[in-house]
Structure 1
Amino acid sequence: MILVTAIFAGQDAVSRHLAQHYSVMTVVMLRYWVFALFVVMLAARRPGGLRAAARSRRPGLQIFRSVLLVAEICVTVVSFVVLGLIGTHAIFAVFPLLVAALAGPVLGEPVGWRRKAAIAVGLVGVLVILRPGFHVFSPQALIPLLAAFMFALYSLLTRMVARWDSAETSFFYTGVAGAVAITLVAPFWWTPIHGTADWAFMASLCVTSILGHFLLIKVYEVAEAGTVQPFAYFQLLFVTILAVTLFGERPDTWTVAGAALILAAGLYAVLREAQVAGALRRN
């Protein structure tokens, strides 16, 4: 899981570099084409092939969540350019808390007072970073908050659709439906990629996308989600290292303090959810 977070951090750094020179839609579309090819090849090798992978009891919901994810990726990459990697990930780290907050209205899951307290602490962390009411506040800081909300909703819809479809079917729709959606839109903002170096960056983005998702699948084959999820926070560490060394970003004290609150609250919420899930299984 730590290796996965390192790969995804590298992806974010490459995405920021490319999005500074080319259309975000172009970068995401090319990445999704390769990802969709990987998903199709993976589905074809499993029992039942593509027909079994595409068979869904809730195709409309599968398509919606897949489109939501590709839209969230576009919003996040835009945030990398306008706000930087550190600022984006510091705020985006609130998404597990948003998942906990939305679990009640979306899935009908009860949320205890402990997780409600963690949500409140995390939101305080967001306010510390945004500092509304002060002249230093930038509306651009709301972009990663929107991305976090979109990803939280995507996560909940993925959990919801798992009631009817297999993980293989959800993964298939994530790649294929997402690729179709971005292909219908991205040509209107197409910018050709020039130079061998940038094509090499684009190729590395595609390859690491496949590698990262492949390793993530392997992670969940050998360990429970609740066990490995806390290690996902290593991505902020790796992103910070890359942002400082490659892009010269320097987080201010308020961003560090707010991120610390968000990470502490998010980690507690994740561990608490895993504890509750474990207790339910034992009973």
Structure 2
Amino acid sequence: MLTDNARGALLMVAGMASFTLSDAIMKLLSSQLPMFQTLVWRGLGVSLVLVVLAWRKGAFRVAIARGDRWLVLVRTLADTGATWFFLQALYHTPIANLTAIMQALPLTVTLGAALFLGETVGWRRMTAIAVGFLGVLLIVRPEAGGFDRYAVYALVCIGFVTTRDLLTRRMSRSVPSLTIALANAVGVMLFGLAGSATESFVLPSGTAALLLLGTSAFIVGGYVLTVSAVRTGELGFVTPFRYTGLIWALVLGFALFAEWPDTLTQLGAGLVVGTGLFTFYRERASARRARAPIPH
């Protein structure tokens, strides 16, 4: 019989597979639908599902303080910006390369928390962050001919997502997660609706409609599975399994797009993932010391 930690780990692996499948389907849709219209269709599907989930969980009955409302709004704007830059990079960059770059997020959030939230970060974690950024440079390789604006877009996306996650840390725990997710979905959908004014309308084909249904289902599934994972197992045990998203990206990139990262990119991805795991380990060690009783 599986332990709670084992179930949590499996849920996290499934959640990362769902998110990566959603990204892969969006990449497939890039040749069939304009980007902004894709955001509208996907946002509509995701928003409807989240409305039902939020209603069933009673999220709409929770009063949100004024300060938290502003944080939710700004977080939504940051997530909307991240979505645009991410999709621009996704449409023009191998999915495994982009996913590898995004694995730097635990490092950038840790650094941002130290700079803007006053959290303590020791020299070991700062060294790990520096090494992790070196891994990112190996992936994007600024001196190489392959470095273009879409690599920059991926880095800008990291900046937006880091801002989003830091804003989330500032919110009260009373704000329902489903409310935050719904605000993001609606925000991105409205952004897509505004951008659609610059595009010629394209009626989705039967294949495109199925792909839209798939990406909507997988992004909601990824959210539900990852939330369930951290509620089922210990946070310190299940969180490192987020890095399995890179494995899924490698498999899907090869199977669907005949993409495979070169040796330097693989080395850079290994550095990013390794330093991310070390940073998480150091955060757990610091938390344990903080909870340890003071000897008398």
TM-score in same-fold range (> 0.5): yes
Cα distance in 2 for partners of 1:190, 1:221 equals 44
Cα distance in 2 for partners of 1:18, 1:175 equals 19
Aligned residues: 282
Pairwise CA distance, 1:30 = 1.9
Cα distance in 2 for partners of 1:264, 1:101 equals 16
Pairwise CA distance, 1:203 = 0.8
Helix, strand or coil at the partner of 1:162: coil
Pairwise CA distance, 1:244 = 0.6
Pairwise CA distance, 1:164 = 6.5
Which amino acid is the alignment partner of residue 271 of structure 2?
L
Q: Which residue matches 2:272?
A: 262
Change (3 A) 1:282 1:66: farther
Q: Which residue matches 1:192?
A: 202
Alignment of 1:33-48 (within 5 A): 33-47=44-58
Residue in structure 2 matching 1:14, options 7, 25, 28: 25
Residue in structure 2 matching 1:218, options 216, 225, 228: 228
Residue in structure 2 matching 1:79, options 73, 89, 94: 89
Q: Does the 8 Å contact 1:128/1:254 carry over to 2?
A: yes
Show CA shifts across 1:135-177 (max 9, x none). 4433322221111221111111111113663445434433444
Pairwise CA distance, 1:182 = 4.0
Q: Which residue matches 1:116?
A: 126
Which amino acid is the alignment partner of residue 14 of structure 1?
I
Helix, strand or coil at the partner of 1:110: coil
Residue in structure 1 matching 2:162, options 149, 152, 160: 152
Which amino acid is the alignment partner of residue 78 of structure 2?
L
- Range that drifts further, 134-143 or 57-66: 134-143
Alignment of 1:15-164 (within 5 A): 15-47=26-58, 50-52=60-62, 57-162=67-172
Pairwise CA distance, 1:205 = 1.0
Change (3 A) 1:282 1:175: farther
TM-score (norm 2): 0.86
TM-score (norm 1): 0.90
Q: Could you say which structure has the greater relative contact order, defined with CA pairs below 8 angstroms and 6 or more residues apart?
A: 2
Change (3 A) 1:250 1:161: same
- Range that drifts further, 217-226 or 122-131: 217-226
- Range that drifts further, 161-170 or 28-37: 161-170
Which amino acid is the alignment partner of residue 50 of structure 2?
V
Pairwise CA distance, 1:241 = 0.5
Show CA shifts across 1:196-235 (max 9, x none). 1111111111112222212222112223433211100101
Pairwise CA distance, 1:31 = 1.7
Change (3 A) 1:96 1:275: same
Cα distance in 1 for partners of 2:226, 2:193 equals 25
Q: Does the 8 Å contact 1:193/1:199 carry over to 2?
A: no
Q: Does the 8 Å contact 1:54/1:169 carry over to 2?
A: no
Question: Is 1:5–2:5 an aligned residue pair?
Answer: no
Q: Does the 8 Å contact 1:19/1:77 carry over to 2?
A: no
Helix, strand or coil at the partner of 1:58: helix
Residue in structure 1 matching 2:256, options 242, 246, 257: 246
Show CA shifts across 1:6-31 (max 9, x none). 11111111010102332222222222
Q: Cα RMSD between the aligned structures?
A: 2.2
Cα distance in 2 for partners of 1:190, 1:60 equals 34
Change (3 A) 1:18 1:172: closer
Cα distance in 2 for partners of 1:204, 1:166 equals 26
Helix, strand or coil at the partner of 2:57: coil
Change (3 A) 1:13 1:166: closer
Change (3 A) 1:75 1:208: same
Q: Does the 8 Å contact 2:62/2:176 carry over to 1?
A: no
Pairwise CA distance, 1:3 = 0.7
Q: Which residue matches 2:287?
A: 277
Pairwise CA distance, 1:54 = 5.6
Q: Does the 8 Å contact 2:139/2:264 carry over to 1?
A: yes
